């Protein structure tokens, strides 16, 4: 398994599209962009000893709320705002957590001491640590009986690696995502310059998501456009669904019958409402353990 999952130069059209596709309040977008720009600015002006800025931003929140998509979009947005050459690298944490004793620790050290610095030799470089709870496991929650010491050491290696990388490469900005901020080692979280909790989409966001999906579908099947009149209704009924689930739900409403599946232009308001209520009933009482 390869550790580098994605590597690209910024600006990137796909990332720009992703940044726009995720419906979150404008203030969150602005805060994230400003935070990263500030981290870059401070680190270029002061030494780490004077301003301990790690260049680490954490996006935490339930599954399907757009964290991974926002990470790429944020990198693209900041590179655009600063009008500078930049690179984006995504790390697959699962590729680092091997079974062999001592392997994780060695792989993690290599990642921070060698792989990232080599790839990020110059220019601004964004590094995505997706699902970081697999990498920086909370050591306090590990029972040494049940869990290999290896996991403990891997977290130690992440922290040491992060500190060394931060001091040596002030051009690197790390963006970490997690569904389980409570399972991430507090020492990792405390190194973050900023933690942004990305919540479930609110009414306004759900309205935008549904409008987006219906508008896209109506390009292929124009009668679907009429359903836009009911967006408010769909949005108010879909509270509790994450962005990914909501998009899927609207699309899967077309599976109401074989007839509609074959001719989606026949999709009606009642099919969407039924699909939504099936999903919201499903999620009641089955809330993910992640941040609500």
Ligand X SMILES: Nc1ncnc2c1ncn2[C@@H]1O[C@H](COP(=O)(O)OP(=O)(O)OP(=O)(O)O)[C@@H](O)[C@H]1O
Which of 53, 79, 71 lies closest to 5, judged by CA? 71
64 touches ligand X (CB under 6 A):
yes
Distance CA 39, CA 159 (A): 19
> Which one, 59 or 165, has the nearer CB to ligand X?
59
Residue 21 interacts with, from ligand X, Mg ion, none (CB under 5-8 Å by kind): ligand X
CB atoms closer than 10 angstroms to residue 153: 18
Q: Which of residues 229-268 bind ligand X (CB under 6 A)?
A: 243-244, 247
Q: Which of 155, 166, 171, 179 touches ligand X by CB under 6 A?
A: 179
Distance CA 147, CA 172 (A): 32
65 touches ligand X (CB under 6 A):
yes
Total of chain residues touching ligand X, rule CB under 6 A: 19
Total of chain residues touching Mg ion, rule CB under 5 A: 1
Residue 23 interacts with, from Mg ion, ligand X, none (CB under 5-8 Å by kind): ligand X
Write down the least CB distance from residue 177 to ligand X, Å: 6
Q: Which of 30, 45, 46, 63 touches ligand X by CB under 6 A?
A: 63
Distance CA 201, CA 206 (A): 6
Instruction: Determine contact, residues 29/74, Cβ cutoff 8 Å.
Output: no
For Cα atoms 31, 87, 70, give the angle at the middle one, nearest 5 degrees: 35
> Which one, 36 or 90, has the nearer CB to ligand X?
90
Tokens matching residue 54: 């790690």
68 touches Mg ion (CB under 5 A):
yes
21 touches ligand X (CB under 6 A):
yes
Q: What DSSP letter does each residue of 63-91 carry, written as one string?
A: TTSSHHHHHHHHHHHHHHHHT--EEEEEE
| Site of interaction with Mg ion (CB under 5 A) | 68
**Residues found near ligand X in the complex (CB under 6 A):** 21-24, 63-69, 177, 179, 201, 205, 209, 243-244, 247
């Amino acid at each position: 398994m390869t550790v580098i999952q994605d590597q690209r130069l910024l600006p990137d059209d796909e990332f720009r599209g992703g940044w726009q596709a995720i419906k979150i309040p404008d203030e969150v977008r602005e805060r994230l962009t400003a935070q990263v720009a500030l981290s870059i600015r401070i680190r270029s002006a002061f030494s780490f000893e004077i301003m301990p800025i790690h260049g680490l931003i954490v996006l935490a929140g339930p599954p399907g709320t757009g964290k991974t998509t926002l990470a790429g979009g944020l990198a693209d947005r900041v590179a655009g705002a600063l009008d500078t050459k930049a690179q984006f690298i995504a790390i697959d944490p699962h590729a680092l957590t091997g079974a062999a004793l001592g392997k994780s620790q060695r792989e993690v050290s290599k990642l921070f001491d060698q792989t990232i610095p080599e790839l990020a030799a110059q220019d601004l470089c964004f590094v995505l640590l997706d699902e970081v709870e697999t990498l920086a496991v909370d050591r306090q929650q590990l029972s040494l009986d049940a869990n290999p010491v290896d996991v403990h050491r891997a977290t130690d290696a992440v922290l040491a690696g992060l500190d060394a990388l931060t001091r040596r490469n002030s051009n690197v900005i790390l963006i970490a995502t997690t569904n389980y901020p409570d399972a991430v080692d507090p020492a990792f979280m405390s190194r973050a310059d900023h933690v942004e909790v990305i919540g479930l989409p609110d009414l306004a966001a759900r309205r935008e998501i549904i409008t987006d999906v219906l508008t896209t579908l109506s390009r292929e099947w124009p009668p679907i456009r009429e359903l836009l009149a009911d967006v408010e209704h769909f949005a108010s009924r879909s509270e509790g669904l994450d962005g990914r689930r909501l998009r899927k739900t609207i699309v899967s409403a077309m599976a109401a019958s074989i007839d509609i599946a074959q001719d989606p232009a026949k999709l009606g308001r009642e099919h969407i409402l039924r699909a939504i209520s099936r999903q919201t009933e499903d999620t009641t009482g089955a809330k993910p353990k992640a941040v609500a």
